[in-house]
Amino acid sequence: MSRLNGKVAIITGAAQGIGATYAQALAAEGATVVLCDLNAPDETAAAIRNKGGTALAIACDVTDGAAVQAMVEEAVEQFSGVHVLINNAALFATLELKPFEQTSSAEWDRIMAVNVRGSFECAKAVMPVMRRQGYGKIVNIASATAFKGAPMMAAYVASKGAVIALTRSIAREVGDAGIRCNCLAPGLTMSANVQANAAWAGDIVRNNIASRCIKREAVPQDLIGALLFLSCTDSDFMSGQTLVVDGGSVTH
């Protein structure tokens, strides 16, 4: 495994669940990883180091532009560059399913701040570094719900639709600088936090599985192949695209 040897990758929301899985997969492929979450993801970093990888854990709120800038500066100081950004941090697993008119303005703003502005802040912060390098990969994490218009989670769905649109716009701006910006859109994936939310059980999960070509639950490891493809040179002639990985529920 060496597709990312010599590359430095930032993964946001890496303390647990899918983000931790992403981080460990990138490290296994040879990347030096910089991990961030609201609390420093020390356990994820330790797991990577125990397998011989190099990892730096940083506490960072992705909605805080100054904190994001400081994280990127520390990554560059420690490892001399940033080649890959995985914008994974988002609010989802703990959200309550409810009609859109029951969503408060404050909740809407919080979801948009984390899920959309967080990706914007991180992409903005790495851009000068990637421009100097003449190369970079930004992988924004959206959701297949943006294509379905899934009910009872309007703020989340709207935020992930915005992430797809943001991806397309950034890709147009930075392609001439050697930077690629693509989107990975998972379907409902049974991470630990999703499993802990009673809303994601029973008929909701069964109906979701029934809509797929491949009729089983999705687990975080199902996303790794697509993530690595978008992060490494295999996808160097691809930008502005959204890759849906949901077992064939959405055919995009």
- Active-site residue numbers? 156
User: Can you tell me the distance from the alpha carbon of 135 to that of 9, in angstroms, rounded to the nearest whole number?
Assistant: 13
Cα separation, 140 vs 188, in Å, equals 17
- Facing residues of 136 across strands? 179
Determine the Cα–Cα distance for residues 126 and 107; give it in Å rounded to an integer.
28
| 3-state SS assignment for residue 188 | coil
Vertex 68 angle, CA 243 and 20, to 5°: 50
Please state, in angstroms and rounded to a whole number, the distance separating the CA atoms of residues 152 and 155.
9
Contacts of 25 (CB under 8 A, 6+ apart): 224, 227, 228
10 three-state secondary structure: strand
Other C-beta atoms lying within 10 Å of the C-beta of residue 222: 19
